[in-house]
Structure 1
């Protein structure tokens, strides 16, 4: 008897008919003898609808605490409906909100992080034969305030529950049948990966791949939770996300191409080049809970520097407002903002043992006339910032250059 955590996204539960389909799938697993915990998102479009209502009242900065109370209701609706559908099919089921489970988080509203999970009640109900239907995306802080985990937070809920319950597998059901070498909507020849390492998936998620939320992959890697991405409405093996040493096939140099349109660039011009200036710029940005991604600093001959960094587009207005204030204090020449950029990344653990990946990437982009604005690297990825209008051309060029449409050769079988 296996304990499985299954997560279904908004598309999977987007209508009563689809909720019924999910109930049929969960019932089948239950009748096969598995113990099941289901984590669900809000019905497709519901979170956006709730956010739009909030912005009708307060256009610029709705109160974060009240936003969490508002948007958390979407998942609660889905949990109740799925529990009803399961009980109608003769499967004992209970719905839980994040606070009922007591998914304890910090108090960073709209971007909360999970601290611990009280699994006693869940184990008791599992032992009594119940399927547990848990609202994803939400928790509660130490003062009892409802919190939410940010976009895609239901993935994190599922993996965190799987870790706490020591589940045999965490299955993420979505509208794709696995993790691809890149987005199939951009590249016709994109190929589904049978397996990918936690490290590669973490980089792809952080660089813009929308299959899984980055914190979900972090949890899975930290606690070694077997993680599988599957299609909600099609049968198939999906993609297994696992440890590097569990991969059977010779690891290819590049696993995939990730990209992100949700990028904006800010530059503060003519800042005095002196110790501590980076902190004076980024400290207030961090204090506003704005995440900074790529950073470039260029020092001029007149002992000034132009300091450039990227943030998400949603954070751009607030970040620009803060940076304007900083520029006045530092007597900088001004601030420039650009929300027409994108990030493209090549990712692969094989980069550790293969030279020339960067030169091949830059050559492929140069061949199609794409200028690189910023570059950042890690041990298993290289990312570049380019003009957004060239994004899809860049992805296709890189996918072709690294031959990602071809099945890798299993050299161990030779």
Structure 2
């Protein structure tokens, strides 16, 4: 008897009709003899509605109270899905994160899972029930409700699959798998049958919105076979697993991009040990994440220092950097929030030379200037002007043989 964890996102359970469709799918799988755990998100739009209500009460609600409020979205969905299953003659029982219980740390709005008590779930599964669990939420040691951050239902599903050693974790979304790049930018993008955890982690961190990064990290750490499928069409989706020899034939698996980038440069700062720490320390102190970093070779005792941040942090980071510039006796701060990051990802890079030179030549042939470069074992990222994003992605997609026939 196989054990599967199914996860359905907000659009998959966005209306009563869609919840009934999910129930019918689960009933069919259950009747085939499988043990089933279902993790669901709040109905589409519900979380935003709750956030809006909170802001009517208080401009900046406390994180604890936001967790109490937002966790109710999933509670509605689990009860409705359990009712729909009962109506089809399928025995089901719903649980909140606290009831399961999914024990987390106390970091409200971005909690991390520490432990899952699985006895209650196993008892229900052994009794032939479908177990329906609220995603996105847990409880800390003091009994406070916590949430895992946007997209946290993915992490809930993967964590349950790991804790109960499920045969597979199936993530149902509004797309039918992981694509070589965003089909809205490149119509010739192909759905991948398989992708490695490493590649998926890079794609997620670089801007692919298919899965929450933490869920992929969790799946890789505990070797949970992960499959992304569509709630609205049939198909095998994309299996995310460990590297296999057949995958070595593909040089590049996909192209990711991120529009939410901004670049800051501090010129003419003293070229002395510790200058990088003096520049980035105040940025980090304000909880602003830095992505790519370039420090130029020193000349005449000074150097230039460039880094990228999320666009939401751009103005705040710029103000901090201007203060740092004055303190260090730097020349000036220049800023640009009209950039994007484009990345090629593939485990095949490990065993093939010339990938970077091919990428750079393709961009040069299109007249696209590269402003920054970052590399790892399985990815190469470049920063370019935002207006060239679609041209760059399409050209690279074709050059690396990713276009579908």
Please classify the TM superposition score into its range, dividing by the shorter chain length. Answer: over 0.9
**Would the alpha carbon gap of residues 23 and 379 (structure 1) be closer, same or farther in structure 2, given more than 3 Å must change?**
same
How is 1:176-325 mapped onto 2 (pairs within 5 angstroms)?
176-245=175-244, 248=246, 250-325=248-323
- Counterpart Cα distance in 1 of 2:102 and 2:332: 44
Task: Please report how far the alpha carbon of residue 301 of structure 1 lies from its aligned counterpart in structure 2 after TM superposition.
Answer: 2.3
Task: Please report how far the alpha carbon of residue 69 of structure 1 lies from its aligned counterpart in structure 2 after TM superposition.
Answer: 2.8
**Structure 2 equivalent of residue 40 of structure 1:** 40
Question: Which string of whole-angstrom CA distances, capped at 9 and with x for unpartnered residues, describes residues 368-410 of structure 1?
Answer: 2222221111100001112222211111111011111257xxx
Task: Please report how far the alpha carbon of residue 318 of structure 1 lies from its aligned counterpart in structure 2 after TM superposition.
Answer: 4.5
1:370 is paired with a residue whose SS is coil
1:345 aligned residue (343, 358, 363): 343
Stretch of structure 1 that moved more, 382-391 or 168-177: 382-391
2:340 is paired with a residue whose SS is strand
Task: Please report how far the alpha carbon of residue 147 of structure 1 lies from its aligned counterpart in structure 2 after TM superposition.
Answer: 2.4
2:123 is paired with a residue whose SS is helix
**Structure 1 equivalent of residue 364 of structure 2:** 366
**Structure 2 equivalent of residue 31 of structure 1:** 31
1:219 is paired with a residue whose SS is helix
- Counterpart Cα distance in 1 of 2:58 and 2:374: 37
- Counterpart Cα distance in 2 of 1:297 and 1:56: 46
**Would the alpha carbon gap of residues 393 and 51 (structure 1) be closer, same or farther in structure 2, given more than 3 Å must change?**
farther
* Contact in 2 for aligned 1:251/1:349 (Cα 8 Å): no
**Would the alpha carbon gap of residues 156 and 287 (structure 1) be closer, same or farther in structure 2, given more than 3 Å must change?**
farther
Task: Please report how far the alpha carbon of residue 324 of structure 1 lies from its aligned counterpart in structure 2 after TM superposition.
Answer: 4.8
- Counterpart Cα distance in 2 of 1:169 and 1:286: 38
Q: Name the count of aligned residue pairs.
A: 405
Stretch of structure 1 that moved more, 327-336 or 74-83: 327-336
**Structure 2 equivalent of residue 111 of structure 1:** 110
**Structure 1 equivalent of residue 381 of structure 2:** 383
Question: Which string of whole-angstrom CA distances, capped at 9 and with x for unpartnered residues, describes residues 232-263 of structure 1?
Answer: 11111111111113x54553100111111222
* Contact in 1 for aligned 2:103/2:114 (Cα 8 Å): yes
- Counterpart Cα distance in 1 of 2:146 and 2:332: 37
* Contact in 1 for aligned 2:248/2:347 (Cα 8 Å): no
- Counterpart Cα distance in 1 of 2:330 and 2:76: 51
- Counterpart Cα distance in 1 of 2:396 and 2:259: 17
Stretch of structure 1 that moved more, 370-379 or 61-70: 61-70
**Would the alpha carbon gap of residues 376 and 284 (structure 1) be closer, same or farther in structure 2, given more than 3 Å must change?**
same
Task: Please report how far the alpha carbon of residue 351 of structure 1 lies from its aligned counterpart in structure 2 after TM superposition.
Answer: 0.6
- Counterpart Cα distance in 2 of 1:143 and 1:271: 49
- Counterpart Cα distance in 1 of 2:5 and 2:231: 14
**Would the alpha carbon gap of residues 265 and 62 (structure 1) be closer, same or farther in structure 2, given more than 3 Å must change?**
farther
Q: Are 2:15 and 1:15 equivalent residues in the alignment?
A: yes
1:384 is paired with a residue whose SS is strand
**Would the alpha carbon gap of residues 28 and 310 (structure 1) be closer, same or farther in structure 2, given more than 3 Å must change?**
same
**Would the alpha carbon gap of residues 204 and 131 (structure 1) be closer, same or farther in structure 2, given more than 3 Å must change?**
same
Task: Please report how far the alpha carbon of residue 287 of structure 1 lies from its aligned counterpart in structure 2 after TM superposition.
Answer: 4.2
Task: Please report how far the alpha carbon of residue 4 of structure 1 lies from its aligned counterpart in structure 2 after TM superposition.
Answer: 0.3
Q: Are 2:92 and 1:77 equivalent residues in the alignment?
A: no
**Structure 1 equivalent of residue 98 of structure 2:** 99
- Counterpart Cα distance in 2 of 1:284 and 1:157: 34
Task: Please report how far the alpha carbon of residue 328 of structure 1 lies from its aligned counterpart in structure 2 after TM superposition.
Answer: 4.8
Task: Please report how far the alpha carbon of residue 367 of structure 1 lies from its aligned counterpart in structure 2 after TM superposition.
Answer: 1.6
Question: Which string of whole-angstrom CA distances, capped at 9 and with x for unpartnered residues, describes residues 167-223 of structure 1?
Answer: 000001111111111111111111111111111111111111111111111111111
- Counterpart Cα distance in 1 of 2:63 and 2:262: 22
Taking only aligned residues, the RMSD between alpha carbons, in angstroms, comes to 2.2
- Counterpart Cα distance in 1 of 2:404 and 2:4: 33
Task: Please report how far the alpha carbon of residue 337 of structure 1 lies from its aligned counterpart in structure 2 after TM superposition.
Answer: 4.1
Question: Which string of whole-angstrom CA distances, capped at 9 and with x for unpartnered residues, describes residues 83-122 of structure 1?
Answer: 2211222222222222222322233333322222222222
**Would the alpha carbon gap of residues 263 and 78 (structure 1) be closer, same or farther in structure 2, given more than 3 Å must change?**
farther
- Counterpart Cα distance in 1 of 2:148 and 2:315: 22
Stretch of structure 1 that moved more, 101-110 or 279-288: 279-288
Task: Please report how far the alpha carbon of residue 269 of structure 1 lies from its aligned counterpart in structure 2 after TM superposition.
Answer: 4.1
Task: Please report how far the alpha carbon of residue 362 of structure 1 lies from its aligned counterpart in structure 2 after TM superposition.
Answer: 1.1
1:189 is paired with a residue whose SS is coil
Task: Please report how far the alpha carbon of residue 288 of structure 1 lies from its aligned counterpart in structure 2 after TM superposition.
Answer: 4.0
Q: Can you give the 5+ residue segments of structure 2 that lack an aligned partner in the other structure?
A: none
1:233 is paired with a residue whose SS is coil
Q: Are 2:400 and 1:405 equivalent residues in the alignment?
A: no
* Contact in 2 for aligned 1:180/1:256 (Cα 8 Å): yes
